[in-house]
Amino acid sequence: MNPNELDKESIVKMISDCIIKNAPEFTGTIVKDKEFELNDEKLKLLNAISDKVEQYSKAGGKILKDSKILRAIGIEAYYMGKLEDSFKHFSEALYVDEELKDIRGKATDLNNIGSVYHDWGKPEKALEYYRKALEIAEELKDIRGKATGLNNIGLVYHDWGKPEKALEYYRKALEIAEELKDIRGKATRLNNIGIVYHDWGKPEKALEYFQKALEIDEELKDIRGKATDLNNIGSVYKDWGKPEKALEYFQKALEIAEELKDIRGKATDLNNIGLVYHDWGKPEKALEYYRKALEIAEELKDIRGKATRLNNIGSVYKDWGKPEKALEYYRKALEIDEELKDIRGKATRLNNIGSVYHDWRKPEKALEYFQKALRIFEDLKDERNSAIVKRNIDVLGTQEV
């Protein structure tokens, strides 16, 4: 197809209908707290469309006048870790929907832009867009859209290290799920509340909510949801210092992923098992599972997942007293963060590199990386991680800098 044909309404409608028929999940709102299946056939379709839209835009300096197509290629870019491309397409979709006075479409675009800002580590901007989307949902009396907005705001506060605010919004979203008798939505909200309590260091409360979510998913025979719950419960036991219990739940989740041929889920489970062995002081076993997870990330071209696996391998080598190998993997992860413009990920990697130099008795280098990480976390107003890095700098006081 000649990209110039995108000027024709009939061609644009044909492409839009094709996306709605073959990849409808790419035309709506990003769902940040659920696994998203990236099917190869759908990706090929969206990649082909994205190339033509890009050529059309460059040739005439025009924006395609179809927000569904723009959203679809934006969501595809988002899940492939190309945040700048996704932001561009979502912003164009917003422009089109505002021009057409499509209020519902506008709310979707605002939510999606908020998700990009969230991933970019810009909580205030994320909240600005999520709140605008929430206002529209309330204006339209769109109860389900309101629940999505509340949930998204809760996610921002959670990642921002503000658990009380996160719980406030998650509970409002849970109330709506119960009001709508949305059992599946209720399980998602219960899981989110459990994650807040887990990260807040309250394992009993976390388990209470995760078990409730598991009961619902078992009742619904939602196998994929059950795997998520098992992983969440395993994570609680891992951080609670109960590795045998953690492995029991992670292995169950892995069995489900293999049964479903869920490659992405399998990578998550392998990574989680690696985390248990790492914390348990079994570096060879940890590396075995992390490397399997890394292979899958590379196979799926999951760039963000690859950065996480590289980081985890680096952490094993750091704790194993192999600083050169640790730095090699942390730097590979850092390169990906810089490529993706993942500011929060970059700060985490810088802090990790600083920790390697600290353990290696190279305090000047450690301080250099800790200060870089601290500047980013303070710019992000991330109080929790800023405090962690400050403690690392304080510990350097025991070494000569």
pLDDT along the chain (401 residues), means of 10: 67 79 79 60 76 71 82 87 89 95 96 93 93 97 95 94 96 97 95 97 97 97 95 97 97 97 94 97 98 96 92 97 98 94 91 97 96 92 87 81 48
Q: How many CB atoms lie within 10 A of CB 103?
A: 14
> Using CA atoms, how far apart are residues 49 and 31, in angstroms rounded to an integer?
22
pLDDT at 60: 63
Rounded to an integer, what is the distance from CA 391 to the centroid of its chain? 27
Q: What is the dihedral of CA 210, 214, 216, 217, to 10 degrees?
A: 130
pLDDT at 64: 83
Q: Identify the CA nearest to 337 among candidates 161, 91, 119.
A: 119
Number of residues in the chain: 401
DSSP H helix total and E strand total for the chain? 19, 0
Are the CB atoms for 56 and 3 separated by under 8 Å?
yes
Q: Identify the CA nearest to 88 among candidates 105, 66, 70, 104.
A: 70
pLDDT at 38: 59
DSSP 198: H
Phi, psi of 381 (to 5 degrees): 55, 35
Cα angle for residues 8, 104, 94 (degrees, 5° grid): 55
pTM score: 0.78
Query: Count of alpha carbons within 13 Å of 257, Cβ hemisphere only?
Result: 24
The DSSP secondary structure of 179-216, one letter per residue, reads HTT-HHHHHHHHHHHHHHHHHTT-HHHHHHHHHHHHHH
Cα angle for residues 313, 314, 315 (degrees, 5° grid): 90
